[in-house]
Homo-oligomer: A and B are copies of this chain.
Amino acid sequence: MQVLVSEVGPRDGLQSISRAMPTQAKHRWIRALAAAGLREIEVASFVPAKLLPQMADAAEVVAEAVTIPGLTVLALAPNLKGVENALAAGAHKVTLPVSASHAHSLANIRMTCDQAIDQVGHICQFRDSLAPHRRPKVEVGLSTAFGCTIQGEVDEEWVFEMARRVAAKGADSVGLSDTVGYANPVQIRRMFKRLFAELGDKAGGAHLHNTRGQGLANVVAALDAGVTTFDASQGGIGGCPYAPGASGNIVTEDLVYLLESMGLATGVDIDKLLEARQVLAEALPGEPIYGHVPDAGVAKTFRASAGEGR
């Protein structure tokens, strides 16, 4: 079986680090990640540079990334303007931030949940107005679907109401995001099973954070539920500037190791992934980067999956 590891470090990771990675370094890092076999990379966020100066070079980064053969280039866009800019730069796919927590939605994108759902509709209408070959895939990850540091509990019925409404508005896939590292494996299994039951082939992937060390435990549960796409960030960098206490995405290196050890083909070469990590480390000297596999090395008994993904 194949599993898609969608690398979000250049977006989710870099936006949570206060200094900006130089554009040329971003190019090198993204190329190194793609060379390791990552087939989808979220490379930038099309938000105003005054809000996230780390993403000021988004258009340039996308334009360079789309020249890498075989790579799906994903960009985050918080509104129609951002989507237009992402497409102008050549992005293949856009991801829209929609939060299931009312409090986080207001803090993150200054919209209510209902407004965010309506905006997905407008963006999908815009997409449908384009010539078929120019239409991007529109992906939604429902942030704080498992709980919120501001609001606390997020009602599960509401999460699925939002998922259904966002899908009905035209999103191609709707995933669930544990933005602040609150999820547990029982919840993950139950909610992703329900996501597949309710949305069918529009059910999206899992975006997990390792804030409380539960990230890979949640991956095992998500795999049980049938999830085949996982976001992860090299070196575990990441967070959310508008979700207090959010930290660290699951670490791409440790995730790939987990999946490959389980016989699931990611197409990613661990050694080359560690080379990409060097590029990250050199571009942001002194920045803490995480991961157990990079420290301990792969097991003597490790065999990468021989699946078709390679």
Bound together, the chains give a CA A213 to CA B110 distance in angstroms of: 37
Is A249 among interface residues, defined by CB-CB distance under 8 A? no
Bound together, the chains give a CA A152 to CA B299 distance in angstroms of: 8
- Closest CB in chain B relative to A180 CB, distance in Å: 8
The complex is assembled from copies of this chain, and their number is 2
Bound together, the chains give a CA A181 to CA B224 distance in angstroms of: 22
> Please, which residue of chain B has its CB at the minimum distance from the CB of A302?
B182
Of B149, B291, B293, B296, the residue contacting A247 (CB under 8 A) is B296
Given contacts A217-B216, A296-B245, A296-B247, contact A185 B254 (CB under 8 A): no
Q: A233-277 vs B: 1/0 string, CB under 8 Å?
A: 000000000000101000100100110011100000000000000
Chain A interface residue count: which class?
A: 35 or more
Query: For A291, what are the chain B residues with a Cβ–Cβ distance below 8 Å?
Result: 213
Tell whether, in the assembled complex, residue B216 and residue A299 are in contact, meaning their CB atoms are under 8 Å apart. no
Query: For A224, what are the chain B residues with a Cβ–Cβ distance below 8 Å?
Result: 224
Q: Which residues of chain A from 163 to 187 have any CB-CB distance to chain B below 8 Å in the complex? A: 180-182, 184-187
Which A residues fall within an 8 A CB radius of B? 147-149, 152-153, 180-182, 184-187, 210-214, 216-217, 219-221, 224, 245, 247, 251, 254, 257-258, 261-263, 291-293, 296-301
5 CB < 8 A contacts A-B:
A182-B300, A214-B216, A214-B257, A214-B261, A220-B220
Given A181-B299, A186-B261, A213-B254, output 15 extra A-B contacts at Cβ < 8 Å. Answer: A147-B300, A152-B300, A180-B299, A181-B296, A182-B300, A185-B220, A210-B292, A212-B254, A212-B292, A212-B296, A213-B257, A213-B293, A214-B216, A217-B217, A220-B221
